[in-house]
Amino acid sequence: MSAARAARPRAAAASPPSVHAPVPGAAPANAPLVAPAPGAVPANPPAPAKTPRAALRALTGALLLAACAPGPRPATTGAGPRPSPDEERFVSALVGKMTLEEKIGQLTQSPAWGGADVPMNDSVAAEVRAGRVGSFLGIPWPQRQRELQRTVMEESRLKIPLMFAHDVIHGFRTIFPVPLAEAASWDPDMVQRDARIAADEATASGIHWTFAPMVDIARDPRWGRIVEGSGEDPFLGSVMAAARVRGFQGPGLGTDSTMMATAKHFVAYGAAEGGRDYNTADISERTLREVYLPPFHAAVRAGVASVMPSFNEIAGVPMHANAGLIDGVLRREWGWDGIVVSDWGGVQELIAHGVATGPEHAAMLGILSGVDVDMASGTYRAGLPDAVRSGRVPMAVVDQSVRRVLRAKYRLGLFRDPFRYLDPDREDRRARPTPAHRAAARQAARQSIVLLKNDGGTLPLAKDVGTLAVIGALATDARSALGSWAAVGRESETVTVLDGIREAVSRRTRVLAADGVPLDKDDDSGIPEAVRVARRADAVVLVLGETAEMSGEAHSRSTLDLPGRQLELARAVVATGRPVVVVLMNGRPLAIPWLAANVPAILETWFLGTETGHAVADVLFGDYNPTGKLPITFPRAVGQVPIYYAHKNTGRPPVDAERYTSKYLDLPSTPLYPFGYGLSYTAFAYDSVRVGAERIGPTDSVVVSVDVRNRGDRPGRELVQLYIQDEVASVTRPVKELRGFRRTGVLLPDQRERVAFTLHPDDLAFTDAAGRRVVEPGFFKVFLGGSSADVRQARFEVVAAAAGTTKKK
């Protein structure tokens, strides 16, 4: 036990404050985490208050959040360390010179007005000249940015440089796998490197600020934006969030290839009812704190420079007016002081939500809740002047937001050199898919592929298989291969599945192709031709799934079935009796029970980006032995949704033979493929789990380990996953919670490796009913294995420190 006893500082006693702790001068104890919706603007607004929270309370009488750390507001900022004295002097002097209109300009982000070839028009030029815009989004074209920056630097009064923002989500010109796919790699170092490359290319094209990473936990695959996140699990999601922030921002905002990152969408956007985009989320504070907030907290700890609120409301409060969560949790409890940038039109939408009477009211709610920058709606421009003049919004609140924007510009070095991101030579060398960038994209793509099924060693295919049929419209669809946020990625630079296969096979192999059926309509006229092609082949690669446009923003679906007549196509091709390998391309888990039962081999390839075809061929022909594991559960049918591994036990866990237990009449309660699942061309055996100590104190750590052996006949690597369960606690706990993962080295046949993890007190802690983060005495299960549903387990006990007695059995 001694080796395992290295206690960490973050033990129970030092853990975060209770969510019910009183905030001096703010909300009363036991106020809810989610503040009630602010009411209408009172007829006689009270005198301006000093802070946004006080102002909002004074105006609305709303209860604010009590979940903040007591004491002074911490002075760290998301964008880096405390502001330096020079920076503060500079920013203060500048703010002192600004008119209200110029201040609101800094809080206004304008959208692009046209394409790369459309020069700035007169009205845009006039806005820029007047200092009515602080940043632009969606202009990834250096020649247009130069025009704008020149106008502001030569023709505006205060010459405050513009920032250019863009959605650089999974690559800029070199496109990496979509985030859900990269999460399947379970490789944060790789994810960080890919974000770094994206930042390198984007900053060489003038971009200062990306709206990524999207860190929304999502457990409903109907929701189209599931493709943009890291899946269902807060632990994995937090690791990936931090990795992407580090990657985008690099060594610090002062370096030449750094790009401000944005953790979005704050918060619980993925909990939209019915999986319908933009819909209401109504969830408990516990779920918010245990599931949806952790990846944001991880991004904040990694120094994220900005955060974007989400379009949804939570318990009646739209997030763009949610002072409790933005000003309360994000700023006060977590001590973060970066820029909160609204989502597109999010401030204006407070009117449609029904909490604001018009632009002035919406602007007031937005800025008083902590939203610094208004993206695209012009609501701050329209509403803030009157709100400030009438005293409803104190000037100090506007100044605080302006300071955040100016600090970011200062840290990016734009006051020193407004054109530092616009160096044509750098653009030429770096804003393109260099061989090194492509090699990284290929590696990322192969690591993101998950082998779902491989009966009888169907895969890998031999490169000299004879005649190979490649069937399916997606096999040649470069646009879909690029995925949902392709930035300036080009189809012409993308390797499709068919291209990749053609390049990989030996000269003796003939590749035949057929489109099969379209994905967006009920048209089965291509099936006979596909069957003819399949009959002439020795093996068939059948590419099925969704186009890239079927997931992403505003692209929710009510079913998880293969769209169009693809299932009929699959049945017809399988009926030929040829060996069939299904290659799935999709942005969400699909319900594929028929394929799972009837096709011998299935690869999940998501949308893999620029190097799609090479990576798919690497895996199909065995040049790469798959290592990916699902970051999200695959249901059997949409009716099981939401289905996730970290569920609660209920009082009546499902038992097949017992009627009154928690299950369906017409489906098993288990998923088709569980979280963490993924096969290899070899197989691994797990020995018993070892636990370093049978009993530990609540501030102790414990080492758990397992021996993993390659029991197959090829070299391979396994991703070992560590889960825990608090068996009995004062509030219900999930049946399993991921607490670690580690990849073995390459194991040769019969080779074994011991994989060890240290569980720290924080890994065992949860928030109790009184809002304290605690490790409760009692038994814990620890599970180690290659998937959430295939584990070996052991137990240990946490005993109360002093008495050495246990509270529970």
Summarize as ranges the residues that interact with ligand NOJ (CB under 6 A): 137, 167, 211, 264, 343-344, 553
Q: Which residue has the tokens 């967006």?
A: 520
CA distance 226 to 216: 8
Which residues are designated catalytic?
343
Q: 507: which residues sit within 8 A by CB, 6+ positions away?
A: none
Question: Looking at this protein, which amino acid is placed at residue 366?
Answer: G
Hey, what's the torsion of the CAs at 788, 791, 796, 797, to 10 degrees?
A: 30
Ranges of H-type helices in 135-272: 142-155, 179-183, 188-203, 234-249
214 versus 583: smaller Cβ distance to ligand NOJ: 214
| Cβ atoms of 209 and 260 closer than 8 Å | yes
Per-position DSSP letters for 767-798, written without gaps between them: E-TTS-EE--SEEEEEEEEEETTEEEEEEEEE
Q: Are 158 and 97 in contact (CB under 8 A)?
A: yes
The C-alpha atoms of residue 356 and residue 360 are separated, in whole angstroms, by: 8
Helix 379-389, helix 395-411: angle, nearest 10? 140
DSSP 316-329: TEEGGG-HIIIIII
Residue keyed to tokens 């019969």: 750
Q: End-to-end CA distance of the chain, in Å?
A: 21
Bridge-based pairing of strands 580-585 and 539-545 is parallel
Among 796, 673, 664, 790, residue whose Cα is nearest residue 726: 796
Between CA 255 and CA 359 the distance in angstroms is 38
Half-sphere exposure in the Cβ direction for 724 (13 Å, CA):
26
Rounded to whole angstroms, the Cα distance separating 538 from 557 reads 36
Comparison of 58 and 207: residue with beta carbon closer to ligand NOJ: 207
Closer by beta carbon to ligand NOJ, 344 or else 780: 344
Q: Which residues contact 604 (CB under 8 A, 6 or more apart)?
A: 184, 449, 450, 451, 452, 584, 586, 628, 630
Give the single-character DSSP code of 384.
Answer: H
Which residue type, as a one-letter code, is found at position 528? P
Is residue 650 exposed (0-12), middle (13-18) or buried (19+ Cβ within 10 Å)? exposed
DSSP for residue 2: G
Kindly give, in sequence order, each residue whose CB lies less than 8 Å from that of residue 185, ignoring residues fewer than 6 positions away. Answer: 177, 191, 444, 447, 448, 627, 628
| CB 290, min distance to ligand NOJ, A | 24
Amino acid at residue number 614: H
DSSP class per residue in 40-109: PPPSSPPPPPSSHHHHHHHHH-------S-SSSPP--BTTBSSPPHHHHHHHHHHHHH--HHHHHHHTEE
Element containing residue 615 per DSSP (H, E) = helix 612-620
Q: Which helix (H) or strand (E) segment is 754 a member of?
A: strand 752-759
> How many Cα atoms occupy the beta-carbon half-sphere of 782 within 13 Å?
29
Backbone angles phi, psi at 265, to 5 degrees: -110, 120
Question: How many other C-beta atoms lie within 10 A of the C-beta of residue 75?
Answer: 10
Q: CA geometry: angle at 224 spanning 583 and 359, to 5°?
A: 160
